[in-house]
Structure 1
Amino acid sequence: MPKPPIVHIPQYDAQFDPEHRFPMSKYSRVFELIVDRGLALPETVIRPAPAPAAWLSLAHSPTYVDQVLSLNVPREIEREIGFEVSERVSLRAQLASAGTVMAARLALETGVACNTAGGSHHARRESGAGFCTFNDVAVAAKVLLADGSIDRALVIDLDVHQGDGTARICADDPRIRTVSMHSAKNYPVHKPASSIDVELPDGVRDEAYLEMLDWLLPRTLEDFAPDIVFYNAGVDPHCEDRLGRLALTDQGLRGRDRAVFSFFREREIPVVSVMGGGYSRDVDAVARRHLITFETAAEFA
């Protein structure tokens, strides 16, 4: 099986208490599964270095970037994020952002690449939120635009939650089109407008979801020609996810991923995938749902 470039580093796992609502250990477990599946060799995986403040400040306010890097995030922002911004959390956020930049550059070279973290789409310019510290996709899109690697970027966010932070950060940049298909009644309560939003009712199952996706994908390219697609492949639309309200099966997630990769690769548009959300007390189960994206990426590598 072909092996798409995969970006990973052990510090993606900030080693939370297993009882925490955010299943941090899924990042370690999904990489174990990737290696077991033969999708990557530990010695060939690309490891990022922490993103510099200059990169992070393209998407976030310099004040907030400094707060995270200096471990001086106000308590009210930490409450909104959902955990303390410790040294491990700060490093993880810097690494995940750099990992998405690196994966995007690899996708431009090879057609497909994957980050085993990322998709922190609730982080906005002035603060983090919803288990997201830095918005890695917004950072990566802004970095590639700034250095001239791309002229336009498309973000297609299929996490069960709306990509509100990405929508906010990119709202005034016509070079970035943000697309989000998500649960209408889920977090966040206030959903700022993406370039395209599709809101789904509770309980949507595989067939209806995939029909809607087939309708949506061509519209993402109407009057817009992206040089790269950032794909947030959150697995929280799964029927057994603790924080989702949709009802996709494993087969539905695989169909979703195949639809995205095939649509854009048939048009020779590079795709970089980021993990996004997935919540369960059973870390192995949620990691196996994330593995589907890496298996599918290999089909198009």
Structure 2
Amino acid sequence: MAITAIIEHYIEMKPLSRLKYHNIREYWKNEMNDFSFWLSKEENLNLLSESIGIELEFIKREATENSRLRVDILAKNKKNDERIIIENQLEETDFSHLGKLLTYATLFNSNTIIWIVKDIRAEHEFTINWFNKNTKEKINIFLIKIQIVSINDSPLAPLFTIICKPDNHIIPKIKDSFRPETIDLIEKRDKLEKSVLDKRIIEFFDDKLELDKLFTKRKYENNDLGILDLLESYNYEIYLKYNGKFTREIKRDLHLWADFRDIKINQRQFEKNGNRDYKSSGKEYFYFTT
């Protein structure tokens, strides 16, 4: 009994790896020539099939129906031969693609649409949910987020996340095999990514903000570990966002990240600089502990 307890304790205490998110444009440079070609392969289309619970069979890429409009991928449901529209957009959703999807459904007489995107604007998520709930005709729209992930030094892997689905459609119960604390962690991370100004800031905080080290918001002296200065060398695009009109958000997002990681921030007062008020000048310190 004692040996069993020791083994269980050892298993529970093994360190957990972190899921790393990669820029999908580094793997798929072009939607049509790279991503659509990759997705049209049987093993990759099967991965999408497993994610949504519909057995898909590839028909054609860049399919047209006596129109100048071309569908990225035309597939069919293996069970009932229904034609399915798959539109790929390795960018943020926009109304132009939404309009095309509905046009494609009309041209190809399809009741099922799959929209695979990199990022989703809230108004488009709302619109897709509205269509799935309120259209009188049977129109089923899936809105799916595509990501590239890895764990430590593992090979890159695609990750399909269903954002919207038809009301009566049952998704494969992948989460049933997860422990409750794992589901809670997934939901907390989703909430964090929707709250921060740029979700890539989470990866920066994970990589660069070490525990038990003293950081400043900016680098005032040579030995300072300025968070914004570290961000500038880490990812200049994110740095411009946080160092522009959204300067205050980096502190807010820092606290959101720390709460997610169960890290304590010992935020010290500003050092007084001359006769000026603390909030007008001087340093602000951050010290991270568990």
Q: TM-score scaled to structure 2, two decimals?
A: 0.28
Which protein has greater RCO, CA pairs closer than 8 Å, 6+ apart?
A: 1
**Structure with the greater alpha carbon radius of gyration:** 2
Q: TM-score scaled to structure 1, two decimals?
A: 0.27
